[in-house]
Structure 1
Amino acid sequence: MDRIAAAVEAIAQRKKELFGLLGELIAHPTVSPPARNSTEAQSLIARELQRLGFTVDRWPVFPGDDNVVGRLPGTSPGKAKSLIINGHIDVAEVGDDAGWTYPPFALTEGGDGRWYGRGVADMKGGLAASLFAIKMLREHGVKLAGDLLFQSVIGEEAGEAGTLAAIERGYRADYAVVVDTSDLHMQGQGGVITGWITIESPTTLHDGMRAKTIHAGGRVHGASAIEKMMKVIASLQELERHWAVMKAYPGFAPGSNTINPAVIEGGRHAAFIADRCSLWITVHFYPNESHEDIIREIEEHVRRAAAADVWLREHPPTFRWGGRSMIEERGEIFPSLELDRDHPGLSALQTAYEQQLGQPPKTDMSPTVTDAGWFAHAGIPAVLFGPGELEQAHAVDESIDPQQLVQFAQVMARFIASWCNTEKVGKG
């Protein structure tokens, strides 16, 4: 038996160690929001990486929430393919844990054979299994010619750009695998961006002035920002319907590209005409679209609608898009990922899957969004591939099939050993 095969076999034989590592991660309640609570969990990741020979870079993205990136230098850096394995350490809210059958922050084997705990599927399972795969490769003497980077980032659950911060710090590779929840499918994704549209009057008028702003002969050029926002909302609905008819992407149901008027804030008091109104929208778009293009399209459409209104053309809406945190800025961006089905990285991952599981993987589109889009936005080819069913993410009594965790770790071990020992030839 060669070293790679021995490492893969050891993953199954020593799966209790994998579950033990996952249990340690689950025990740290890195719930986001409120976030700012990942110090101990990230320290655990950093220690594991150091034990495996990685050099570790750790820095604060927000107080109490550090990114951890480990680099394992290859034996022939620059000559062989490099790889990023990426996952987020934060988990979804639990709410009232009285509704849970099993304690959310203790890995528990249920009577149905599944493992329970917050984050087992989304996505501490993917982090633990990837780390364990690397550990088995190291213990069995499998050398990697290309650099291997392991990223444990913060903030994905609250739209906080932990992965973007790692990219901005200079971490790049020839391919990236985001080991978030995908039920072992290999996926691309659409994108999401939030934005604020604001209408503001330069003057504040008392409620008693309303008759003069709306009746003939009143001769006061004023308006309610709330009422004018209704025209903006109507224009967004018109654009959403147009998108549903004119845009499509394989793997998505028609009309998946939506504009949701999620929150509206306006007015100051019942004794005044509303002089300010803000609308918070959430926009879903397709993998072949960028959030920059979507911003331009929405702003142009709304401005044209505003230009048709006698008051709005002089007091046009303003826009604020995205943000690096839903907690700090009330804004987020998840860029899209159009999967390159011909990329050699995806081919190598598919081959590893077939070698281990004896059948080709499902390659499709995720119905949700993850940090994978940040890699595509930075020009780094990437794929979403991880254990756990999406319906378990954020669920009460979140659970995962332990056999799938083992299978994922085995596929990743094969893929890492293959990809990081592939000679660079040209691009890709």
Structure 2
Amino acid sequence: MRGLAAAVEAIANRGDELFDLLGKLVSQPTVSPPARNSEQAQSLIAGELQEMGFDIDRWPVYPGDDNVVGRLPGTASEESKSLIINGHIDVAEVGDDTGWTYPPFTLTTGPDGRWYGRGVADMKGGLAASLFAIKMLREHGVELKGDLLFQSVIGEEAGEAGTLVAIERGYSADYAVVVDTSNLHMQGQGGVITGWITIESPTTLHDGMRAKTIHAGGRVHGASAIEKMMKIIASLQELERHWAVMKTYPGFAPGSNTINPAVIEGGRHAAFIADKCALWISVHFYPDESYEDIIRQIEDHVCRAASADVWLRENPPTFRWGGRSMIEERGEIFPSLEVDRSHPGLAALQNAYEAQVKRAPVLDMSPTVTDAGWFAHAGIPAVLFGPGELAHAHAVDESIDPEQLIQFAQVMARFIAEWCNTKKEAKEW
């Protein structure tokens, strides 16, 4: 393909430009929480896209946190494959930075040759390298017949559904690559959902009434919501053990599907019997499961346990699942992603990797969760593929190997050029 080889070579020869772009992104402290601080970083992304000829759509998800989506129309978009490149602009919080060897918001080259700064691995490195790959394709005249969409979204670190909002705005494509931290592995992922289980008494009783409640045999139909929650927790532990034995998925250790009782809130004062108790749980599930299925399984099991209790059967637990923000709603959802190993998009990405790296890529499962699951949930074929190692993400002295970043950009350049010049399959009528 005319210009592709030159573009790939230029990525290697002009690494200082990639360093400069990544440095500008790192200098913006888009930490989440507290979030609401990505305006300048998103302006930088939008400016880069605009210079390359993208049409820009920018809108607020929360005040101070905009999504940015750029669309580069293909020269034959009706007949050719389209692609979404997706990444999040927010980074993990730093807190007290006295433990850092290098300033977290200044991109620094260490004596080991690695690049240091908050977000270089998770995941401003992936955003910058993808932008640079596109820039080199544009400069070297590589035609893209299919539409190319670049999404810089907010909120992934705090479970805020920036990617979901972009999907709901109507953005779709024939394939999506989420360029989050994967150490250049091509990955699927399990899912996570949080939920609140609440038990509430219809009456509030003084502590002096405890001797008269059904706990102690005093013929008063009252109970402590905290103590009744212990039965709910026991039922969740029973279900978790059942899952660990009965469910498996390749690439995950047995028992990776967990139900974590993370936070419990209950009672009002030592002089009262607790009339309300709420349990916040986080649930990990496998790539071949949906969060809707998981909700049904947990609610069914918990409600059956509650029905066996003389007080809970009349005062059953209530449930609130998920949410679009851990900051605003104290709830989140990360859908799972089961990678379609036969999809031509994955084949094209594998071809690009093998052409550049000269070996077959690793196809496995991420031990964490990303926004990639939202594409699968919306019926958009997707894969997680990005630079950086999870051991360095969120860490003090977060770092990335610049050679891996260059290599990633080269693979992406090859993939974009191949996929966006692939003809769509003829429709079957």
TM (normalized to structure 1)?
0.99
Match of 1:390, SS state, is coil
Corresponding position of 1:240 = 240
User: How big is the shift at 1:372?
Assistant: 0.1
How many residues end up aligned between the 2 structures? 428
User: How big is the shift at 1:215?
Assistant: 5.8
Match of 1:260, SS state, is strand
Tell me, in whole angstroms, the C-alpha distance in 2 between the residues paired with 1:391 and 1:249: 23
Match of 1:292, SS state, is helix
User: How big is the shift at 1:216?
Assistant: 5.9
- Written as runs of structure 1 = structure 2, the 5 A alignment for 1:326-345 is 326-345=326-345
User: Once the two structures are superposed, what CA deviation does each residue of 1:273-313 show, in whole Å capped at 9, x if it has no partner?
Assistant: 00000000000000000000000000000000000000000
- Written as runs of structure 1 = structure 2, the 5 A alignment for 1:94-243 is 94-214=94-214, 218-243=218-243
Tell me, in whole angstroms, the C-alpha distance in 2 between the residues paired with 1:216 and 1:372: 52
User: How big is the shift at 1:214?
Assistant: 3.6
Tell me, in whole angstroms, the C-alpha distance in 2 between the residues paired with 1:19 and 1:146: 29
Corresponding position of 2:401 = 401
User: Once the two structures are superposed, what CA deviation does each residue of 1:344-392 show, in whole Å capped at 9, x if it has no partner?
Assistant: 0000000000000100100000000000000000000000000000111
Match of 1:282, SS state, is strand
Indicate if the aligned counterparts of 2:84 and 2:150 stay in contact, CA closer than 8 A. Answer: yes
Going from structure 1 to structure 2, the CA distance change for 1:209 and 1:427 (only over 3 Å counts) comes to farther
User: How big is the shift at 1:399?
Assistant: 0.3
Corresponding position of 2:36 = 36
Indicate if the aligned counterparts of 2:215 and 2:223 stay in contact, CA closer than 8 A. Answer: no
Tell me, in whole angstroms, the C-alpha distance in 2 between the residues paired with 1:426 and 1:408: 32
Match of 1:137, SS state, is helix
Going from structure 1 to structure 2, the CA distance change for 1:121 and 1:215 (only over 3 Å counts) comes to closer
Equivalent AA in structure 1 for residue 365 of structure 2:
M
Corresponding position of 2:387 = 387
Tell me, in whole angstroms, the C-alpha distance in 2 between the residues paired with 1:216 and 1:75: 78
Equivalent AA in structure 2 for residue 300 of structure 1:
D
- Written as runs of structure 1 = structure 2, the 5 A alignment for 1:325-364 is 325-364=325-364
Corresponding position of 1:48 = 48
Comparing 108-117 and 206-215, the one that deviates more: 206-215
Tell me, in whole angstroms, the C-alpha distance in 2 between the residues paired with 1:2 and 1:153: 32
Tell me, in whole angstroms, the C-alpha distance in 2 between the residues paired with 1:133 and 1:215: 68
- Written as runs of structure 1 = structure 2, the 5 A alignment for 1:19-34 is 19-34=19-34
Indicate if the aligned counterparts of 2:211 and 2:217 stay in contact, CA closer than 8 A. Answer: no
User: Once the two structures are superposed, what CA deviation does each residue of 1:67-95 show, in whole Å capped at 9, x if it has no partner?
Assistant: 00000000011210000000000000111
User: How big is the shift at 1:46?
Assistant: 0.3
Tell me, in whole angstroms, the C-alpha distance in 1 between the residues paired with 2:96 and 2:132: 32
Tell me, in whole angstroms, the C-alpha distance in 1 between the residues paired with 2:83 and 2:163: 15
Match of 1:101, SS state, is coil
- Written as runs of structure 1 = structure 2, the 5 A alignment for 1:403-422 is 403-422=403-422
Match of 1:22, SS state, is helix
User: How big is the shift at 1:117?
Assistant: 0.1
Tell me, in whole angstroms, the C-alpha distance in 2 between the residues paired with 1:318 and 1:217: 27
Match of 1:202, SS state, is coil
Tell me, in whole angstroms, the C-alpha distance in 2 between the residues paired with 1:139 and 1:340: 33
Corresponding position of 1:299 = 299
User: Once the two structures are superposed, what CA deviation does each residue of 1:230-265 show, in whole Å capped at 9, x if it has no partner?
Assistant: 000000000000000000000000000000000000
Tell me, in whole angstroms, the C-alpha distance in 2 between the residues paired with 1:415 and 1:51: 22
User: How big is the shift at 1:36?
Assistant: 0.2
Indicate if the aligned counterparts of 2:38 and 2:64 stay in contact, CA closer than 8 A. Answer: yes
User: How big is the shift at 1:338?
Assistant: 0.3
User: How big is the shift at 1:60?
Assistant: 0.3
Match of 2:391, SS state, is helix
- Which structure 2 segments of 5+ residues have no match? none
Indicate if the aligned counterparts of 2:2 and 2:142 stay in contact, CA closer than 8 A. Answer: no
Going from structure 1 to structure 2, the CA distance change for 1:124 and 1:207 (only over 3 Å counts) comes to same
Output the aligned Cα RMSD: 1.0
User: How big is the shift at 1:2?
Assistant: 3.6
Tell me, in whole angstroms, the C-alpha distance in 2 between the residues paired with 1:59 and 1:211: 59
Match of 2:74, SS state, is coil
TM (normalized to structure 2)?
0.99
Match of 1:66, SS state, is strand
Equivalent AA in structure 2 for residue 134 of structure 1:
I
Equivalent AA in structure 1 for residue 154 of structure 2:
I
Segments ≥4 residues shifted beyond 2 Å: 214-217
Corresponding position of 1:323 = 323
Corresponding position of 1:264 = 264
Match of 1:392, SS state, is coil
Match of 1:111, SS state, is coil
- Which structure 1 segments of 5+ residues have no match? none
User: Once the two structures are superposed, what CA deviation does each residue of 1:184-235 show, in whole Å capped at 9, x if it has no partner?
Assistant: 0000000000000000000000000000004665110000000000000000
Indicate if the aligned counterparts of 2:210 and 2:216 stay in contact, CA closer than 8 A. Answer: no
